[in-house]
Chain A
Amino acid sequence: MEFLSDLQAQVSTAYELLAAGWGVQLLWGIAWTLAVTMVSMLIGAMLGSLVAAAKLSPRGGLRFIGESYTTVFRGEPELLIIYLFYYGGTQVLTGVARSTGSIGSTDILNMPSFLGGVLAVGIISGAYQAEVFRGSFLAIHRGELEAARAYGMSAWLRFRLVIMPQVLRLAVPGLGNVWQLTIKDSALISVTGVAELMLTANKAARSTHHSLLFYTVAGILYLVMTSVSTPIFEKAERYTSRSFTRPK
C-alpha cells in the first residue's frame, strides 16, 4: 500500500513537472538524439561502404585495414571511443592551435561536443554497417556479376546497375538493426555535453530530484523511438524488394 501511495504521489508531480517546461526540453532532447543518430548513420554509411569494399578487396593490405577497422571499433567499449574523439580531439586541436599561436599557451581549444560525439558514434556505426554491406554483397548471385562482366560492363556501371541496387535491398533489415544500435549508442554521447535526450533527462533529474520520473520518461521515449522505426524499416524493406514479390 505504501508502494501505491508513493506511486500516486509520483504521478501527480510528474504532470506538474512536465507541464512546467521539462516536457518541452525533453522534446528538444528527442530532436537532438534523432539528429545525432541520423548524422552518425550517414557517416557510418560512407565509412561502412568503404570498409566493406576494403574487406572484399583482393589486395591483402586493404583487407587487413578493413578487418582491423571492424575488429577494433566493434571490440572497444563505445564509451572509450567517445572519450577518445572528444577529449583526444580537444588534445589535438589545442596542440595545433597553440603551436600556430592562435590561442595562448595555457588556453584550451575544446572539441565541439556535437562533432566529437557524432564522429565517434558514426565510426562505431560504420563498423557494424560494413559487416551488413559485406554480407549483402556476398549474397548477390555470382552469376549476375559474371553476366554483367560478360556484357562488357565497366566496373562503375556494374557497381551502379547490378551491385548497388541489390546490396541496398539486401542490406535494409541489417541497417534497421544498426539504426537501433546507433539510437542506443547516441545516449552515451551525453557524457560529452550534447543536449540530447539522455543529458536532458539527467539535468531534469538532478535539478528537480525526481530521477525516477525523468529516467522512466527517457526510457519510454527511447522505446517509442526504437519501436516507431521498426515499421518504417519494414516498409522500406517492402519497397526495396517490391520487384521480388508476387503482384497481388
Chain B
Amino acid sequence: MDFDFYLSTMWSVLKALPLTLEIWFFGIAFGLVIATGLTWLRASGHKLGEYFTRAYVFIFRGSPLLVQLYLIYFGLSQFDFVRHSPILWPILRDPMYCTIVAMALNTAAYESEIFRGALRAVPVGQIEAAKAFGMPAFTRFRLVTLPIALRLALPAYSTEIILMTKATALASVVTIMEMMGTAQKIQHDTFRPIEVLTCAGVIYLLLNLSIARLFAWVEYRLSPHLRPPPEQSQQIKPVPEVL
C-alpha cells in the first residue's frame, strides 16, 4: 500500500471538484428553467405545445447524452451561421459551455416528465376544494397545486440530480479537466488506473451520498403530515401486578 500516492491523487482530484460542481450547478439550473418552460407548454393544453414537448422528450431521452454532447460541440459548428454568430459562437466553441448546454437540454426532458407526473398526481379533491373556496386560478396554483406537486416530484427529482452528478464525468471527453479528466490524466502519467480511479470513485460516491442525504432531509422536513405521530412520552403504564 502506497499511502502517499493515494493521498496525493485524492488531493489532485479534489482540486478539480469545484469545476465539477460548476458544471453540475449550471447544468441543473438551466435544466430547471427549460423544464419549467416545457412543463408549462405541456400543461397549457395547446395541441402544438403538446406535440413539441412530446418530440423534445422523445429525442432527448431516447439518445445517449454523449451523442447529444458531440452533436452540440462538434456538430453545430458545421453551420456557417453558427460560426459567424456573435452570440452562439462564443458559447458553442467552448467545451465547458457545450457540456452545460447538453446537460441542461438533456435533464430538462427527464425533469419535465417528472413535473408533469407530479402535477397529474395532485389529488383532484384538493383543487376542487380550492375552487369551491372561490380561489382565483393563480392563488390556487400558488397555494394548492404547486406545493403538493413539488413535494410529490421531490424523490424522482433527487434521482435525476444524482444522474446529473454522474453525467458531469462526460465533460472529460471534450477535454475539460474536471474530476474525471484529472483522474484520467494522473492515470495516464502513472499507469496505475485501479488506484487512481478508486480515489476518484470514492469522491464521486461521497458526493452522491451527501446529495441523496440532503434530499432525504428536505423530503422529511416537507412531509410532517405524513409521519406517524411521535410516541407519547407520558403514556399511562399499566399498574404492575403486585404479587
Contact = CB atoms under 8 A, between A and B. Distances in A.
A216 B75 contact: yes
B208 A215 contact: no
A188 B80 CA distance: 30
Interface string B81-112: 10000000000000000000000000000000
B166 A222 contact: no
Interface residues of B, number: 44
A88 interface: yes
Contacts of A87: 187, 193-194, 197
Contacts of A216: 71, 75
Contacts of B65: 184
Interface in A155-213: 180, 183-185, 187-188, 190-191, 198, 201-202, 205, 210-213
Contact of B200 (A6, A80, A188, A227): A80
Contacts of A79: 169-170, 172-173, 180
Interface string A218-237: 11001100110000000000
B78 interface: yes
A83 B187 contact: yes
A14 to B, nearest CB: 12
Interface stretch (B55-63, B139-147, B234-242): B55-63
Interface residues of A, number: 43
B204 A212 contact: no
A91 B193 CA distance: 7
A21 interface: no
Given A6-B81, A77-B204, A79-B169, A88 B66 contact: no
A89 B65 CA distance: 26
Nearest to A108: B191
A187 B75 CA distance: 17
Contacts of A3: 79, 81
A78 interface: yes
Given A79-B180, A83-B184, A222-B67, A212 B209 contact: no
Interface in A119-142: none
A75 B200 contact: no
Interface in A33-84: 71-72, 75-80, 83-84
Contact of B67 (A77, A212, A219): A219
Nearest to B84: A2
A72 B66 contact: no
B58 A223 contact: yes
Interface in B176-193: 180, 183-184, 187, 191-193
A3 to B, nearest CB: 5
Given A211-B74, A218-B67, A75 B208 contact: yes
A170 B147 CA distance: 33
Contact of A219 (B63, B166, B191): B63
Nearest to A1: B81
Interface of A: 2-3, 6, 10, 71-72, 75-80, 83-84, 87-88, 90-92, 180, 183-185, 187-188, 190-191, 198, 201-202, 205, 210-213, 215-216, 218-219, 222-223, 226-227
Given A80-B169, A212-B71, A215-B70, 15 more contacts: A3-B79, A75-B205, A79-B170, A79-B172, A80-B201, A91-B192, A91-B194, A187-B64, A188-B64, A190-B66, A198-B67, A211-B77, A213-B78, A215-B71, A216-B75
14 contacts: A3-B79, A76-B201, A76-B205, A77-B180, A79-B169, A80-B204, A84-B198, A198-B66, A201-B67, A205-B70, A215-B75, A216-B71, A219-B68, A227-B58
